[in-house]
Structure 1
Amino acid sequence: MSQLLFVLCPIASLENQDLCFYMRLVVLMYKSDQKLQDVTLAKTTHWGKIKAMLEEKIDELSQGLHRVASDNAALTRSLQERSEMIVKISEERSKAEADVEKLKD
């Protein structure tokens, strides 16, 4: 192990080798932390874009739903009016048929 440390840090004394080892360890930890922060930032940005796209799609679908609901309400009113008209025509037809029968007698 001390030979490996010596290769990593060509300082002769053991104390200096330990210091060099810890310095390299700190640098590695810093680089690792920096990579983690970079990945976290990239993923946060990526998920932020996905969230924005999904929220936009939800808004589009919500607007479409409101349009369809409005169209549905208009069709329902039209259907109700036509149903009432059919009932009225049917009543008038029945009355007219009754009048025709009276005239036949």
Structure 2
Amino acid sequence: MTDHHTYGTSTHTADELARLVGDRLGLVFTERDSDYRGVYHLAGIPNGRIEIQPNPIPRDDHEDDLYAPEHPAAQVLLLTTTPTPDTALQARLDSIEGLTHLNHETM
């Protein structure tokens, strides 16, 4: 089983959110660059990972695609993946001002 949560914000940039979450959770985010996703931030957590992803992804034709088109108002997404539900992690993320829980999926 894998537990996925999606959070969104239009209050913070991806860099700001990476610093804020990193400070709050004691994590170090690494900036990654992907042809598909653009620039995003990744941090490993015990038994999982947290990714901070800008929702608009720049394309070569200067028109942005949305990483999560079902959440167009969110400019930045925070994605968590853990093997089982982590209620402590969810509570800590829920306490961050400007960060809204958007979706939960268990696979």
Q: Give 1 or 2 for the bigger CA radius of gyration.
A: 1
Greater relative contact order (Cα 8 A, min sep 6): structure 1 or 2? 2
TM class, shorter-length: under 0.3
Return the structure number with greater helix share: 1
What is the TM-score with the length of structure 1 in the denominator? 0.15
